[in-house]
Amino acid sequence: MSEKKGLARAAEIYAKSEQYARELKNQGKKIAGYYCCYVPLEMLAAVDYVPVRILGDMNENITSADTYLPTVMCFFYRSCLDLAMKGKYDYLDAFFGAHSCDGAERVSYVWRSYLKYACNFNIDIPHTVHPPAIEYFKNQLEAMKETIEEKTGQKISDERLAAAITLYNKQRGLVRELYALRKADPPPISGTEVLQVLVAIMYMPPEEGNALLAEILEEVKNRPVTAQKKPRLLITGCLIDNISFTKLIEDSGFNVVMDDTAIGSRSFGHDVAVTGDPLGSLAERYLDKIVCPRTFRETGKNRAEDLENRFGYLRKFVEDWKADGVYLNIIRNCDPHGYEIPELKYYFEEMVNVPVLAIEQDYSTASLEPLRTRFQAFAENIE
């Protein structure tokens, strides 16, 4: 790939992520594919795997996956498996699935029933954050560690793990710094650009990703602001991994300023504590700190309290990033997010006092255009 810098480089890696990963592989790197934000990347980086986030492709018609999966399941993971069956992930040396939601779990099992990799582990993630659950999750990570050590012949020593933790904490910190810049009105970086950056670093070795992030921070701070003031939008819900989507939203009259999604703040929100028990810290951060509807939190004494417990962080997002509206993104057939639609709407509309647009979408660029009217109407309503 060319020698572009900063945002331009991020945009390029985003656009050619597969090619980029294959080039890394040709340079002799080992590539580990992983599902969702619950797989501790530190453990992969500790044996010099380049962790690559498994993504779908909204541009690609889902065909091959239909042999293995029914049409009623989450379109995102259907798309991921479809790509895999078409050979687009055949460069992987290792594969890490996770029981983040049922869809993810079943797909990773189906996946590995047909495609075999040198190293393979599925993490069962408990659904609560009770102390025994964190202990259980730590046991799972222990088992994952043993599997990796056995398959790669390398030891994941506490030192290597600690170094990897530092590296990723750095990365998360840099991303948060970038997010903080978006508090300005108008934001100096668009939602589309941010998405390109995040996807790019999810394909890069962490050191390189960090270097690129630093470069980008400088660039964004120093370039003239060209964006117009527009209603400010917080996106929450299912992940968005394609810029056609963010473009559509921003073209319809919004500035996307903050998100609560898996390719976004959920992946970069919290650091891993540096302690003498790295696995324990990892378990804590990944199970407890990531806030995702797939994890059950105690419901508390009454409903208002429960809602504030569960969604309070979103209120802070709205306040800190001065969001004028919330887009609740639901990929069709997503259960964890689907069950929360009424609660979230109620929370934002009645308790935080900010309007919400909820859309169930099909994870396909072909069906994006009809959504334009909805975003436009939503923007017009906020003005």
Partner 1 sequence: MFYRAGLDIGSSLAKAVILKDDEIMAYGIAPISGNFSRAADQVMQETLEKSGLRLEQLDIIGGTGLGASFIPYRFVKNTEVSCQSRGVHYLLPTARIVIEIGYQASRVIKITENGKVADCVVNDRCAAGSGRILQVISKVLQVPLTELGNMSLKSTNPVRFTTGCSVFAETEAISRIAEGAKVEDIIAGLHQAISLKISGMLEKIKLDGECAITGGGGKDAGLVKMLEKTLQKEMLLPAEPLISGAIGAVLMATEKTQEFEAAAKQEE
Partner 2 sequence: MEEKKAKKRTSAKTLQTAREAGYFGKKMLANTRTAVEEGRPVAWSMVDWWLGVPICKAMGVEMVFPENWSAFCAASRTAEPNLEYSEMDGFPNTLCGYARNTLGYARKLKDNNYVIPPDSPGGGLPKPNFLLGCGAVCDARYKWFQAMGRYMDVPVWMLEFPQVGYKEYYLPGNKEKTIKFLVDELKAFVAFLENLLNKKLDMNKLSELVQIMFQTNKIAHEVDLLRKAVPSPMVSQDFWAVMTAHFYLADDLEAQAFYQRVYDEVKHRVDNKIGAIPNEKYRMLFAELPPWHTLGFFDEMAEKHGIAFVFESWNYHVPSPLTAEERHGISDPLELLARFSYHKFHEMAPVAREHDIDPIIFVAPYLNYVKEYRGDGLMGHPLLSCRPATYTLMHVRNLLMEKFKVPSVIVEGDIIDLRVFNEEEAYTKMDAFIETMDYHRELRKKAGLDW
Partner 3 sequence: MIFAGLDIGSTITKIVIRDENEILAALINPTGAQHRQLAHKITEAALKKANLTIDQIDYLIVTGYGRVNVPFADRQMSEITCHMRGINWLFPNVRTIIDIGGQDSKGIKVVNGKMRNFIMNDKCAAGTGRFLEVIADSLGLKIEEIGEIALRSTHPADISKICTVFAEQEVLLRLSEGVPLEDILYGLHLSMAKRIHALVGKIGIEKDVVVTGGGALNNGLFKCLEERIGFPLHRPAKPLLTGALGASILAQEYVKKAQAEGSLPDKKERKLRAVTFFDGDSAETEVAKGSG
Contact residues: partner 2, CB under 8 A:
66-70, 72-74, 99, 101-103, 105-107, 109-110, 112-113, 120-122, 124, 126-128, 130, 132-133, 135-136, 139, 143, 146-147, 293-294, 296, 298-303, 306, 330, 332-333, 335-336, 338-343, 345-346, 358, 360
DSSP-based helix, strand, coil % in the chain, nearest 5: 55, 10, 35
Give me the residues paired with residue 131 across strands.
Answer: none
- Which of 14, 76, 317, 348: binder of ligand SF4 (CB under 6 A)? 76
**What are the helix (H) ranges across 16-60?**
17-26, 41-45
Residue 295: CB minimum distance to partner 2, A? 10
331 binds, among partner 2, partner 3, ligand SF4, none (CB under 5 to 8 A by kind): ligand SF4
What is the x/- site pattern for ligand SF4, positions 261-290, by CB under 6 A?
------------------------------
Residue 381: CB minimum distance to partner 1, A? 25
- Cβ proximity to partner 1: between 119 and 368 the closer is 368
367 binds, among partner 2, ligand SF4, partner 3, none (CB under 5 to 8 A by kind): partner 3
Residue 69: CB minimum distance to ligand SF4, A? 12
376 binds, among ligand SF4, partner 3, partner 1, none (CB under 5 to 8 A by kind): partner 3
Give me the residues paired with residue 53 across strands.
Answer: 34
Give me the residues paired with residue 51 across strands.
Answer: 32
What is the x/- site pattern for partner 3, positions 359-378, by CB under 8 A?
--------x--x--xx-xx-
352 binds, among ligand SF4, partner 2, partner 1, none (CB under 5 to 8 A by kind): none
- Cβ proximity to ligand SF4: between 187 and 336 the closer is 336
The count of other CB atoms within 10 Å of the CB of residue 273 is: 15
The count of other CB atoms within 10 Å of the CB of residue 131 is: 8
- Cβ proximity to partner 3: between 66 and 380 the closer is 380
CA-based angle 240:318:324, to the nearest 5?
A: 85
Tokens for 260?
């609560």
Q: Does 336 bind ligand SF4 (CB under 6 A)?
A: yes
- Cβ proximity to partner 1: between 89 and 121 the closer is 89
Q: Does 229 bind partner 3 (CB under 8 A)?
A: no
- Cβ proximity to partner 3: between 17 and 252 the closer is 252
**What are the helix (H) ranges across the chain?**
6-15, 17-26, 41-45, 75-85, 102-114, 131-152, 158-181, 191-201, 206-222, 243-251, 265-268, 278-283, 303-320, 335-338, 341-346, 372-382
Asked whether 331 and 236 are in contact (CB, 8 A), the reply is no
Residue 309 CA to residue 15 CA, distance in Å, equals: 38
Q: Could you tell me whether strands 255-260 and 325-331 are parallel, antiparallel, or unpaired per DSSP bridges?
A: unpaired
Q: Does 238 bind ligand SF4 (CB under 6 A)?
A: yes
The helices-and-strands tally (H runs, E runs) of the chain is 16, 8
User: Where along the sequence are the contacts to partner 3 (CB under 8 A)?
Assistant: 355, 367, 370, 373-374, 376-377, 380-381
